[in-house]
A = this chain, B = another copy of it.
Amino acid sequence: MEGKIVKATIITIGDELLIGQVIDTNSAWIAKKLNEAGIWLHRRVSIGDVKEQITETLKEESKHTDIIIITGGLGPTADDITKPVLCEYFGGKLVIDNKVLKHIQSIFEKRKLPFTERNAKQAELPDVCTVLHNPVGTAPGMLFEKNNKLYFSLPGVPMEMQVIMEDHVLPILKKKTTDSVILHRTLVTSGIGESFLADLIQDWEETLPDYIKLAYLPSFGLIRLRLTGKHRDEQILEKELSDNFRTLKELVKDYLIIEEDLTLPEYISKIMKDRNITLGTVESCTGGNIARSITVLPGASAFYMGSVIAYDNKVKTEILGVKSTTLQSHGAVSEATVQEMVSGGLRSLKTDYIIATTGIMGPDGGSAEKPVGTVWIGIGNHRKMISKKYNFPYNREKNILMVTNTALNMLRKMILEEES
C-alpha cells in the first residue's frame, strides 16, 4: 500500500441504526482518527444485522478501498450476527480462544456476576483472524487480511471500540501510511452567515493548491473553517498551510473569535484558567445547558464555581435576590430581571464573572410582545455589566443551543475587552 493514497471505508452494523433509535457517534470518532493518520475516508455505510447485507456490503466496498473498519454486531445477544458471518466470509471456523475466555471470566469475577454459556460464546473466534485484545470489555476486536486489504471488526460500544482503535488499529495503520502527512488549521467565526463568509473568501479560496482543502462547519451560530492539507513533504505543507491560514485570518478578522481547533467552552476554559479568574452561571431558559457545556470538560473545577438555575421565579427572588417588583413590572424576560440575576449571581456565587439567561424557548409560553425565542442575556463582573436581547426563530432545543453559544461568546468578548 505504500506510496499511494490509502483509502478506508467504515461499515457500522446494527438494526438500531436503521430504525433511528441510535445516533451513530462511532463513525465520526473513527473518521477523525483516520483523518489525523493520513488515511482518506472514502465512504461510511450503515447496514442491518442481516447476513446477506453484511456479505454484499463487504464485497462491494472491497472494490473501492484498502481498509475496512467494521463496528457493531459483536455483543452477546441474538441480534448480533457479525462474527459468524465474517468467519464464513473469510473461510474460517469458530474456535474457543483460551486467552480471551480467561479474560472474559476475569471480568465476570471482578463484577461479581455469574458466568453463563452465552458469555463463554464470546470467546469463540474465527481461526483466520488476529485477535485484538479488548481490555475494557468482553468482545475482542478481529483483524482479517484478504487480497492485500485489511478488515478490522470492532465492538459497537464506543469506549471499547476506542480503546481497540488506539491500542491496535491505529498503530497497524500508521505503519502502512508513512508516505504522506495530513495537517490542519482551524478557526471559528461568529456573526456572519455561510454565504457571506463564502463571498468574503472566495477569491482566496480559488488560489489554494490542490493539496489543501477548505471545509465550512456551521454549528449553532458559529462557523468553523478548517484547512486540511495532505502532502509528502511536511515542510512544504507546513509553510503553505501557515501562509494560507494567515491570509484567511486576515480576511475574516471582523468575525474571528477563535484561532485554534477549540470549541467555545474549551476556549472559555482556557482563557479563564490562564487568567486565574472564576465563573458562575445563573440560568433560567438554558436550564443548566451552559453549566453542562463547561463542566463536561476535564478540570472545570479550576475556574467554574457553580450555578443557580432559577427556572421558577421564586428561586430568582429567594436565592438570587431579584426583586418581586422587578418581576411584576418588567416580567421575568426583561433587561431589568437579567441584570438583577447577574448581580445576584455575583453576590451569591462570589465569582469574578457571571453569565445570566432568561427567555422563552418554546414551544409554549410566547406572547405577542415576547414571542417564543425572545431571550435576554447578561454578562457581568464587579465593574461592568452588559445585557442584550435576542430573538431566535428555532425550536426549543436549537434555541437553547443558540443562547448557550451566544452567551459564551459575549463572555469571551467581555474578558478580552477588559484587558485592552
> Residues of A at under 8 Å CB distance from B?
15-25, 27-35, 41-48, 53, 57, 60, 75-79, 113, 116, 118-119, 136, 159, 193-199, 202, 205, 213-217, 224, 226, 228, 281, 283, 286-292, 294-296, 298-301, 304-312, 314-315, 318-319, 348-350, 362-365, 393-398, 400
Query: What B residues does A198 contact at CB under 8 A?
Result: 76-78, 118
A308 CB → nearest B CB, Å: 6
A215–chain B nearest beta-carbon distance, Å: 5
**Known contacts A116-B195, A288-B291; is A214 also within 8 Å of B79 by CB?**
yes
A16 touches B217 (CB 8 A): yes
Q: Which 3 pairs of residues, A with B, have the shortest CB-CB distance?
A: A287-B295, A20-B32, A288-B291
Closest to A162 in B: B395
Known: A46-B44, A304-B311, A312-B301. A118 touches B199 (CB 8 A): yes
Contact indicator A23/B21 (Cβ below 8 Å): no
Give the nearest-CB partner of A35 in chain B.
B19
Q: A35-B19, A215-B21 are in contact. Are A309 and B296 (CB under 8 A)?
A: no
A217 contacts across to B, CB distance below 8 A: 16, 21-22
The interface residues of chain B lying within 8 Å CB-to-CB of A213 are 15, 79
For the complex, give the distance between the alpha carbons of A300 and B202 in Å: 45
> Complex formed: what's the CA distance from A20 to B398 in Å?
21
Most chain B CB within a 10 A radius of its CB, from A15, A77, A78, A299 = A77
Are A315 and B349 within 8 A (Cβ)? Answer: yes
Most B C-beta atoms less than 10 A away, residue of A60, A194, A215: A215
Please name 26 pairs of A and B residues whose Cβ atoms are closer than 8 Å in the assembled complex, sorted by A.
A15-B215, A17-B27, A18-B31, A18-B43, A18-B44, A20-B27, A20-B28, A20-B34, A21-B32, A21-B217, A43-B45, A44-B46, A75-B194, A118-B199, A288-B290, A288-B292, A288-B307, A291-B292, A291-B309, A296-B397, A298-B363, A299-B364, A301-B312, A304-B312, A305-B311, A308-B319
Bound-complex Cα distance A48 to B314 (A): 52
Inside 8 A of A310's CB, which chain B residues have their CB? 306
With CB as the reference atom, state the residue of chain B lying closest to A197.
B77
B309→A116 contact, CB < 8 A: no
Are A23 and B20 within 8 A (Cβ)? no
B113 touches A193 (CB 8 A): yes
B311-A309 in contact (CB<8A):
no
Cα A296 to Cα B53 with chains together (Å): 38
Which residues of B have CB within 8 Å of A281? Answer: 309
Give chain B residues whose Cβ lies under 8 Å from the Cβ of A216.
Answer: 16, 75, 77, 79
In chain B, what residue has the closest Cβ to A25?
A: B23
Q: Are B307 and A309 in contact (CB under 8 A)?
A: yes
CA distance A232 to B45 in the complex (A): 30
Known contacts: A24-B24, A35-B19, A46-B44. The answer to whether A288 contacts B305 by CB under 8 A is no
> How many copies of the polypeptide does the oligomer hold?
2
How far, in angstroms, from A295 to B307 measured CA to CA in the complex? Answer: 15
Instruction: Indicate if the CB atoms of B300 and A294 lie closer than 8 Å.
Output: no
Q: In the bound complex, how far is the Cα of B314 from the Cα of A348, in angstroms?
A: 10
CA distance A57 to B300 in the complex (A): 45
Contact between A398 and B159, CB atoms less than 8 A apart: yes
Given A198-B118, A287-B295, are A43 and B53 also a contact pair (CB < 8 Å)? Answer: yes
Q: Report the Cα distance A286→B295, complex, angstroms.
A: 8
A315 to B288 Cα, complex, angstroms: 16
Complex CA distance for A24 and B398, rounded to whole angstroms: 16
The chain B residue with its CB closest to the CB of A278 is B312
CA distance A395 to B160 in the complex (A): 11
Which residues of the other chain, B, contact A319 by a CB distance below 8 angstroms? 308, 319, 348-349
Contact of A46 among B43, B215, B363 (CB under 8 A): B43
Contact of A28 among B22, B31, B195, B287 (CB under 8 A): B22
- Distance of A296 Cα from B404 Cα, bound (Å): 13
Q: Which residue of B lies closest to A228 (CB)?
A: B19
CB–CB B214/A159 < 8 A: no
A27 and B46 contact, Cβ closer than 8 Å, known pairs A307-B308, A395-B159: yes
